[in-house]
C-alpha cells in the first residue's frame, strides 16, 4: 500500500505570493494533519481535518488555511508569504481523530520543502 504522499517536493516562492500544498492520505485513513518544521526544531501543529471538518488548529495566523476533500486528500494554503514561512511542511494521516491510540497513530509523508525568497 502507498504511504502518505505530498506534492510538490520542493517549492520556491517570493514574499507576498500564495502557495498551495497537497497531501493524499493512506488508503482508509480519514484524518489529515498538517505540521510546519523549521530547520533545527520539532514539527509544529497547524491543522487537523477529519471527515472534511476542521478538528483542531494550532497557533498560526489566518494566512494559513486548509481544507479536506471527499476523497480525504487535503490542501494547505498560505497567503502573503513571509520569509519566516520557509520550512518543511509535513502531512500526516490517521484512521481517526479520537478513540484508541492505534486508531489515532499518525503516519507522515515526505514533506514539501518551501523556500520563500
Partner 1 sequence: KQEVTQIPAALSVPEGENLVLNCSFTDSAIYNLQWFRQDPGKGLTSLLLIQSSQREQTSGRLNASLDKSSGRSTLYIAASQPGDSATYLCAVVPGGYNKLIFGAGTRLAVHP
Residues lying near partner 1 in the complex (CB under 8 A): 4, 31, 33, 35, 40-45, 48, 55-56, 58, 88, 90, 92, 94, 96-98, 101-102, 104-111, 113
In terms of CB distance, is 67 or 108 closer to partner 1?
A: 108
Query: Can you give the length of the chain in residues?
Result: 117
Coil, strand or helix: which one is 103? helix
In terms of CB distance, is 65 or 96 closer to partner 1?
A: 96
**Nearest distance in Å: CB 69, partner 1:** 20
Instruction: Return the C-alpha cell found at 58.
Output: 494550532
Q: CA angle at residue 21 from 15 to 26, to 5 degrees?
A: 160
**Nearest distance in Å: CB 114, partner 1:** 13
**Nearest distance in Å: CB 87, partner 1:** 12
Which residue has 502507498 as its cell numbers?
Answer: 2
The H or E element that residue 102 is part of is: helix 101-104
In terms of CB distance, is 15 or 52 closer to partner 1?
A: 52
**Nearest distance in Å: CB 19, partner 1:** 19
Number of Cβ within 10 Å of residue 44's Cβ equals 15
Amino acid at each position: 500500500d502507498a504511504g502518505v504522499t505530498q506534492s510538490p517536493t520542493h517549492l520556491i516562492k517570493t514574499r507576498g505570493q500564495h502557495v498551495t500544498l497537497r497531501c493524499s492520505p493512506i488508503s482508509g485513513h480519514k484524518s489529515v494533519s498538517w505540521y510546519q518544521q523549521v530547520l533545527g526544531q520539532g514539527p509544529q501543529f497547524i491543522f487537523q481535518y477529519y471527515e472534511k471538518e476542521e478538528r483542531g488548529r494550532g497557533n498560526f495566523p489566518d494566512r494559513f488555511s486548509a481544507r479536506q476533500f471527499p476523497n480525504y486528500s487535503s490542501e494547505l494554503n498560505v497567503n502573503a508569504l513571509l520569509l519566516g514561512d520557509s520550512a518543511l511542511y509535513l502531512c500526516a494521516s490517521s484512521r481517526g481523530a479520537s478513540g484508541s491510540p492505534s486508531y489515532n497513530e499518525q503516519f507522515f509523508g515526505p514533506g514539501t520543502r518551501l523556500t520563500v525568497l
